[in-house]
Structure 1
Amino acid sequence: MNNILFFGDSLTAGYGLGNVHDESFPALIGQKIKAAELDYIIINAGLSGDTSSGGLARLDYWLSQPVKVFILELGINDILRGIPPSRTFANLDLIVKKVKAKYPEVKLALMGMEIPSFIPGAFAAEFRAIFRRLAESHDMVFVPFFLEGVAGLAHLNMKDGLHPSAEGYRIIAEKTWPVLKKIL
């Protein structure tokens, strides 16, 4: 069984979309996988509002079934809640270590995040660095900014300005697919 586990927060879950099963990031990548005639099953383990510590707490449940590819998208809610970047890194690092311990042959991908421009200085720089550091230390396929080309563009986001619309997710899927296809 070739399961791809998309593990993240509202950006993985597809918060606010009319049809999560067709419009979310995992669903769109699943459509591309099917079109490429690759044999994978998509599992959307996104949970709106989740933090890195919340992800760590619920990880074992999702690892109870075989995982061939693990795609991690977590951390932005940590920064919005004031969790220190060092704690976010430690939680994400432990998530990846647990996945690798359970499934040593797993292929890994990390969706990096940037933070809103209203958060200044060293804190912002430290947060940005955790994703590259994590990807390098675990030899993960890496997308530096998951929301690139969508963040901050009103016509590609919901009214909250934080979550992509269906059109926004199509752009994200187009930008991330070449990177993800490499590990499939």
Structure 2
Amino acid sequence: MQNITLFGDSLFNGYRNHHDTTLITAGLQQILGANFYVNNISQSGATTADGLKRLSLVDEDSDLVVLEFGTNDAASTWGIPSNLYAQNLQKLITAIGAARMIIIGPAYPNPDNSTIMQYYSNESLTCYNQVAQTVAAEHNIPFVDLIANFKHLPNISSYYQADGQHFTTKGNTVLINLVATAINKKLVH
């Protein structure tokens, strides 16, 4: 059995109606099947700095750790500078081990939601996404570009809850399928 650890923020927690859910964990478990065990140690609101404080929760026996940070890191009021984001990603990779990782880039907030977009700019999101992509490439870690996969979806608001940041069932389905594809590509040769 392959042991998969999801390690990220509220996106991996399937955040809905002000509560974490098991939507992402259960959705991935269903797609991946009985030969996989999906464990989720994500923390809503977390940045990479928070992830570093929670490294002890990463199971040493995990065959794969799917790292999903960056959206909160890129926020203008509660985030961290991009150079610290890069340093934190490097520290997480060193601690976990590049050979057993997938990196998910920052999410793309609903561009039609002015409430959430006051905390993000396209320039900032592009910068943090590039940081994650570059760090992943330096370590030969598969990278999932959420921004590229969400940015051009038709009727984009239908993929987001009213807060503009967390996904609806439709958005979570896209996320789950992207992550499942990356896991299968990495572990099933």
TM-score range, shorter chain: 0.7 to 0.9
Match of 2:26 in 1: 27
Q: Does structure 1 residue 13 correspond to structure 2 residue 16?
A: no
Match of 2:91 in 1: 94
Q: Which is further off, 10-19 or 133-142? A: 10-19
CA distance, structure 2, for counterparts of residue 146 and residue 8 of structure 1: 16
| 1:86-115 deviations in Å (ceiling 9; x for gaps) | 101111110111011xxx8x5211111256
Match of 1:40 in 2: 36
Match of 1:84 in 2: 81
Match of 1:60 in 2: 56
Moved over 4 A (4+): 114-118
Q: Which amino acid aligns with 1:85?
A: S
**Deviation (angstroms), 1:66:** 1.2
Match of 2:117 in 1: none
- Structure 1: tracts of 5 or more residues without a match: none
Note the aligned Cα RMSD (angstroms): 2.6
Q: Given the alignment, which residue of 163, 167, 183 partners 1:164?
A: 167
| 1:126-184 deviations in Å (ceiling 9; x for gaps) | 32221111111221111122682378822221111110012211122223432221112
The answer (yes or no) to whether the contact 2:108–2:146 under 8 Å persists in 1 is no
The answer (yes or no) to whether the contact 1:8–1:47 under 8 Å persists in 2 is yes
- Structure 2: tracts of 5 or more residues without a match: 112-119
Q: Which amino acid aligns with 2:51?
A: G
Query: TM-score normalised to the size of structure 2?
Result: 0.79
Query: Alignment partner of 2:161: what SS?
Result: coil
Match of 2:133 in 1: 132
Pick closer, same or farther for the CA change 1:147–1:179 going to 2, 3 Å.
same
Query: TM-score normalised to the size of structure 1?
Result: 0.81
Q: Percent identity?
A: 24
Q: Which amino acid aligns with 2:100?
A: K
Q: Which is further off, 69-78 or 147-156? A: 147-156
Q: Which is further off, 12-21 or 67-76? A: 12-21
